[in-house]
């Protein structure tokens, strides 16, 4: 037997199964946005950070990785990847506790492209749960070319750095992106480096030890260019702190 219901606005007739399906979708959507529910499995055992312990343990952790660029390493016992040994980047170490895959890539997508503050706060909490061994003197978010930031509506690295700064008591520096960098997505490592070289300028004074903040590290080319700008301006050491690292790279 098929039961049908009239929409309140009289736009169409829905059967009960469609209504139930939509109620379930709406319910999940609401839970995902509400504190108290785990952001990943939607159970009600979430800690203040926004996840349950089981889900946290099962996240795609970047456990064995290059200490300089955080690229996941296949063999334990090495401390640096081949890329960093052959052509070392200008930053010293990278902290990216998670791999950019599964639920983490979804979270980054929701934050970056849907402008979800809940997803952004979860990324901040995840970064704070596995912080760098030394934070240095200041945080430096990766700047965006002004036209691109306007198009997106916000700069995700600056959004993260502001909240990380508030939680850690670290000042947040500013740099400018002075070159409209074409999308890096289809480029290999060398092309990415060329693409972003000389793209950044520091604003104001710069302390000795700076930590660059970004959402995801792909090859490290952006961090390399920004670290080079900070070092040229007087910094002695620059590190990178990101939420996640992409696992597989074009060489």
Which residues lie near Zn ion (CB under 5 A)?
38, 40-41, 52, 55, 66, 68-69, 71, 81, 84
Cβ proximity to Zn ion, 72 vs 120, nearer residue: 72
Instruction: Report the nearest approach of Zn ion to the CB of residue 251 (Å).
Output: 12
Cβ proximity to Zn ion, 158 vs 193, nearer residue: 193
Write the DSSP symbol of residue 92.
S
Instruction: Report the nearest approach of Zn ion to the CB of residue 46 (Å).
Output: 7
Q: Give one DSSP letter per residue of 37-90, joined into a string.
A: S-TTT--S---TTSS-HHHHHHS-B--SB-TTT--B-SSTT-SS-HHHHHS--S
Cβ proximity to Zn ion, 95 vs 156, nearer residue: 95
Task: Report in angstroms the alpha-carbon separations of 235 from 5, 99, 110.
Answer: 67, 29, 34
Cβ proximity to Zn ion, 130 vs 249, nearer residue: 249
Instruction: Report the nearest approach of Zn ion to the CB of residue 125 (Å).
Output: 14
What are the two backbone dihedrals, phi and then psi, of residue 15, each rounded to the nearest 5 degrees?
Answer: -85, 170
Instruction: Report the nearest approach of Zn ion to the CB of residue 43 (Å).
Output: 5
């Amino acid at each position: 037997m098929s039961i049908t219901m009239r929409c309140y606005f009289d736009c169409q007739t829905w059967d009960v199964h469609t209504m139930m399906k939509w109620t379930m979708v709406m319910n999940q959507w609401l839970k995902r946005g509400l504190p108290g529910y785990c952001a990943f499995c939607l159970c009600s055992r979430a800690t203040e950070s926004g996840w349950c312990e089981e889900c946290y343990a099962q996240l795609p952790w970047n456990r064995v990785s290059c200490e300089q660029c955080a690229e996941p390493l296949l063999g334990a016992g090495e401390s640096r990847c081949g890329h960093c040994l052959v052509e070392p980047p200008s930053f010293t170490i990278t902290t990216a506790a998670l791999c950019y895959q599964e639920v983490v890539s979804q979270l980054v997508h929701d934050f970056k492209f849907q402008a979800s503050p809940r997803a952004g706060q979860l990324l901040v909490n995840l970064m704070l749960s596995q912080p760098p061994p030394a934070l240095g003197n200041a945080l430096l978010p990766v700047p965006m070319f002004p036209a691109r930031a306007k198009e997106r509506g916000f700069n995700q690295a600056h959004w993260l750095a502001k909240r990380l700064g508030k939680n850690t008591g670290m000042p947040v520096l500013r740099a400018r992106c002075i070159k409209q960098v074409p999308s890096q997505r289809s480029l290999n490592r060398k092309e990415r480096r060329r693409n972003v070289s000389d793209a950044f300028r520091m604003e104001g004074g710069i302390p000795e030890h700076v930590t660059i903040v970004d959402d995801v590290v792909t090859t490290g080319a952006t961090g390399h260019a920004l670290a080079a700008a900070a070092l040229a301006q007087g910094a002695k050491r620059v590190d990178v702190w990101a939420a996640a690292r992409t696992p597989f790279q074009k060489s």
